[in-house]
Amino acid sequence: NAGVTQTPKFRILKIGQSMTLQCAQDMNHNYMYWYRQDPGMGLKLIYYSVGAGITDKGEVPNGYNVSRSTTEDFPLRLELAAPSQTSVYFCASSYTVGGARGDTQYFGPGTRLTVL
């Protein structure tokens, strides 16, 4: 059981380039999330998905796109990279969220992205 995996671990982009951050989970979780974390800050939600084919915007979606064609995969696309997108990106998944069961999100190891 690998949990949540992310690739790549590190990446340097030039301004205006595009890339896709990969995220996969093998826990058959319905919910998947993309966050960014800037230095000394908490996690900001970029996009989330409640199941295959269903995605929605979080707090900071501008400059990003997502798709969810399978339960397992939730890639994040950066178009026209800007220095403001320099951050650490975390993917997470959960069976449900909150509630009395306390179901929680499991995080991947993160992708450290620098845009120069």
Partner 1 sequence: QKEVEQNSGPLSVPEGAIASLNCTYSDRGSQSFFWYRQYSGKSPELIMFIYSNGDKEDGRFTAQLNKASQYVSLLIRDSQPSDSATYLCAVNNDYKLSFGAGTTVTVRA
CB nearer partner 1, residue 17 or residue 97: 97
Among 25, 31, 78, 115, binds partner 1 (CB under 8 A): 31
Cis peptide before 75 (omega within 30 of 0): no
| Interactions with partner 1, residue window 52-111 (CB under 8 A) | 58, 90, 97-100, 102, 104-105, 107-110
Among 1, 14, 28, 42, binds partner 1 (CB under 8 A): 42
CB nearer partner 1, residue 64 or residue 90: 90
Minimum separation from the CB atom of position 15 to partner 1 (A): 26
Q: State which amino acid sits at residue 104.
A: T
Measured distance CA(33)–CA(57) in Å, rounded: 10
* Angle 105-65-33 from CA coordinates, rounded to 5°: 5
Binding site for partner 1 (CB under 8 A): 31, 33, 35, 40-45, 48, 50, 58, 90, 97-100, 102, 104-105, 107-110
